Amino acid sequence: MTVQISAFSWVPDMAKGYVKDLRIRWALEESGHAYGVELVRPLGECPDSYRQWQPFGQVPAYRDDDVEMFESGAIVLHIARGNPVLEPADRQDRARMESWVFAALSTIEPRFQNLFLFDAELAATPKGAAAKARLTELLANRLGVLATCLGEKEYLLDDFTAADIMMATVLRDVRGHGYLDPYPTLTAYVERCEARPAFSRALEAQMANFDTDTA
Ligand SMILES: N[C@@H](CCC(=O)N[C@@H](CS)C(=O)NCC(=O)O)C(=O)O
pLDDT of residue 215: 58
pLDDT of residue 159: 97
Closest CA to 47 of 37, 61, 57, 62: 57
92 CA distance to ligand 1 centroid (A)?
31
pLDDT of residue 211: 74
Residues 74-121: pLDDT tens digits?
999 999 999 999 999 999 999 999 999 999 999 999 999 998 887 666
The DSSP bridge pattern shows strands 36-40 and 68-70 to be: unpaired
Which pTM was predicted?
0.96
Written in H, E and C, the secondary structure of 139-170 is HHHHHHHHHHHHCCCCCCCCCCCHHHHHHHHH
Cβ atoms of 50 and 44 within 8 Å: the answer is no
| Protein residue with least CA distance to atom 12, ligand 1 | 58
pLDDT of residue 214: 59
Rounded to an integer, what distance in angstroms lies between the CA atom of residue 61 and that of residue 51? Answer: 10
Q: In sequence order, what E strands does the chain have?
A: 4-8, 36-40, 61-63, 68-70
Rounded to an integer, what distance in angstroms lies between the CA atom of residue 162 and that of residue 156? Answer: 10
- Hey, which residues does 70 pair with through a beta bridge? 61
In which element (H, E) is residue 184 found? helix 184-194
Helix 162-176 with 126-150: angle, nearest 10 deg: 150
156 CA distance to ligand 1 centroid (A)?
24
Torsions phi, psi for 71 (to 5 deg): 80, 115
pLDDT of residue 126: 85
The best mutation among 6, 38, 53, 58 to test binding of ligand 1, ranked by most ligand atoms within 8 Å of the C-beta, falls on 58
Rounded to an integer, what distance in angstroms lies between the CA atom of residue 180 and that of residue 175? Answer: 5
Ligand 1 first shell, C-beta below 6 A? 19-20, 42, 57-60, 71-73
Chain Cα centroid distance, residue 89: 23
Closest CA to 181 of 147, 210, 152: 147
Task: Walk along the chain (215 residues) and give the pLDDT tens digit of each residue.
Answer: 899 999 999 999 999 999 999 999 999 999 999 999 999 988 767 788 899 999 999 999 999 999 999 999 999 999 999 999 999 999 999 999 999 999 999 999 999 999 888 766 677 888 888 988 999 999 999 999 999 999 999 999 999 999 999 999 999 999 999 999 999 999 999 999 999 999 999 999 999 999 776 55
pLDDT of residue 51: 92
